[in-house]
Structure 1
């Protein structure tokens, strides 16, 4: 059946359910039928929602009950040089990069772009992925602490068998380690995997399930939940701020005093003080896990532009900004503990997101595997550092409100 209106009528009559439409029509027609149903039942006009550029069939792995597409304005910042110093070999993102950002927040792109321009004038930034590993932490039920200790001992003595079982489910994933945590009659096992260029959440979930099956076969532990929240996915968590998840990445830059004064209209001392009093003391008083100005702003915009899992921005906000005066210059850094990014899989395959990754030169898998996702993490961290510098300067110079007024935001 290729008549959206007729399909919508069958749903209204109870003959079909919304999620069954693809069994009776192609994906484009099924999406059109859902729009017809919603327009009839809500008086909404979904003409713009239905005007999308990608194939509904290609989007099937990414969405259920599809009705169309959501569009966001996308801007770009840069170019900004990263890891271009001859003495700074080892970074994945060598060269100059533009960073696409998708957002509805006026002034954000302008602010980040100002920071990128300052970094460029200062000679560029350095960035490094310092730790990598996607985690999944199942929770097992045991009789008590004695049995818990036995399970932990078995796991620690069976790493090779668990690796073989887990890695048998994937062509690319590699089990790096398993960290046990015991709470009464609960045993949590935090599995950490190298997922290469994939963000890896689905990969490590499937691999961890295979390892859990082996644990249940060979021990007395009973799996309660494949995710026991010690992972910890899509929630603010101290364990991610300390141990990291996905990629832990730091970007830093040294900006000469004259550049700070001429381009940021303030001084290194004023930015350092604003950072200490706002980002460090203020965040500590608030009990925040993030000690930064607005790193999640840039991270969210980069995630939306490049097809990352937007809900994981909450973990990306686990970041610490530092600023200090060194040799009469401003040294600033941003360390993001848990940045979960990938260049293959998930939303990276959608057309506009794939084009944004093409702008970065990072679409698809890297050579060696993992290098594209490392580079993406370093570029996003540098963009977020640029946003930190710009906002701190606006605060230190008392230009924040006037900048928003000037841009009409």
Structure 2
């Protein structure tokens, strides 16, 4: 049996490269050997990094040159009371639409704040959530000689959507091509392909399918492919097109909170929260030139992504969220608080990628949403709805803390 120390020595002697170790030993041995190399080179003991609770082979599709695992504290918030179209269609291990949402973070007070918001939402008879649009995008860029060739290419695409759909869908048994939207800039033609990727987040699925479709575009038009991703997708970077058109799931959640509940539980008024939202999230964000108009939506989304195995870099698109807070007057003159979040580009899945890792798989199992749903896509839709309600709770709690001037004292009380 090959020992980690022997493999590490071969790397030091130049006989093996550090990325070749899995070719000469089992995965855990290779990881241990690589850790010995790093410890020797840096003088750093990697005891904590090397103390992980799953077989290294389980992470093989997700990482290269593995030396261990980064352990992030994980907690739960909830129950999340959600009246959703997808959540209603899944048994989810839930009782009456209530879910425990795992969140992984190093930010103290985050889960406490979200839990406070969720408590108010539960007492207000729960939140409603709906996925309003679904489409994972990939946008290749082509070169043409000029505007005339660009127009010919765009016309051909419009006339041959069925042929493009057939070619794209030949690469996947699950994905469906929904649309191809052309954009022309001088001698560049961008084609923004949008797919229904069911329960997968679907970025790899969309990339492979689009690559196949691009071969047909090149064969039938004057266009030559320059890059399979032309940044009009737009993946893992702030982009107005995602805030407007959406990417992945577009999901909205809302709740009507009775005014007396706002005063008793959040220690402020609907009017004060609505004003804080307008001046902070709307006016302040506009002045800053922000694409998102929210307090800290990415906070909850990032923690949910880490816990459930989503692509953490796509949190940037989730930051496009718009938060709405409105004081609504009753007939008796008192006011309630209408609260809502609209996440235009929430990219989530329950199959593939990091969702297969043991820890993240367990977190999805807590939600009752591990693996593919029936019908296909329902589990990912349900996850989007639950994350949206968690985000709404976080927005409600933080804005209430700001409106009541309790933000600093809350962090101080929690020792954060």
Q: TM-score by structure 2 length?
A: 0.96
Partner of 2:83: 83
Q: 2:218 aligns with which of 210, 216, 219?
A: 216
Q: 1:2 Cα shift?
A: 1.5
Partner of 1:363: 370
SS in 2 for 1:67: coil
**Number of residues of Structure 1 aligned to a counterpart in Structure 2:** 406
User: CA 1:89–1:24 in 2, change beyond 3 Å: closer, same or farther?
Assistant: closer
Runs of 4+, deviation exceeding 4 Å: 88-94
User: CA 1:141–1:91 in 2, change beyond 3 Å: closer, same or farther?
Assistant: farther
CA displacement 1:111-159 (0-9 Å, x = unmatched): 0000000000111000000000000000000000000000011111111
Partner of 2:184: 182
SS in 1 for 2:56: coil
RMSD: 1.2
Alignment partner of 1:228 is 2:230:
yes
CA displacement 1:249-290 (0-9 Å, x = unmatched): 000000001100000000000000000000000000000000
Partner of 2:93: none
Q: Distance in 2 between matches of 1:334 and 1:247?
A: 14
Partner of 2:11: 11
Q: 1:195 aligns with which of 188, 194, 197?
A: 197
Q: Distance in 2 between matches of 1:65 and 1:2?
A: 18
SS in 1 for 2:78: strand
User: CA 1:275–1:91 in 2, change beyond 3 Å: closer, same or farther?
Assistant: farther
Instruction: Please show how residues 46-57 of structure 1 align to structure 2 within 5 Å.
Output: 46-57=46-57
CA displacement 1:220-247 (0-9 Å, x = unmatched): 2110000000000000000000000000
Instruction: Please show how residues 259-298 of structure 1 align to structure 2 within 5 Å.
Output: 259-298=261-300
Of 2-11 and 369-378, the range deviating more from structure 2: 2-11
Q: Distance in 2 between matches of 1:227 and 1:354?
A: 30
Partner of 1:37: 37
SS in 2 for 1:259: helix
- Contact 1:92/1:378 (8 A) holds in 2: no
Q: 1:33 Cα shift?
A: 0.7
CA displacement 1:356-394 (0-9 Å, x = unmatched): 101111000001000000000000000000000000000
Q: TM-score by structure 1 length?
A: 0.98
Alignment partner of 1:117 is 2:124:
no
SS in 1 for 2:132: strand
Partner of 1:169: 171
- Contact 2:140/2:230 (8 A) holds in 1: yes
Gaps of 5+ in 2: 91-95
Q: Distance in 1 between matches of 2:218 and 2:292?
A: 38
Of 155-164 and 2-11, the range deviating more from structure 2: 2-11
Partner of 1:23: 23
Q: 1:344 aligns with which of 351, 362, 372?
A: 351
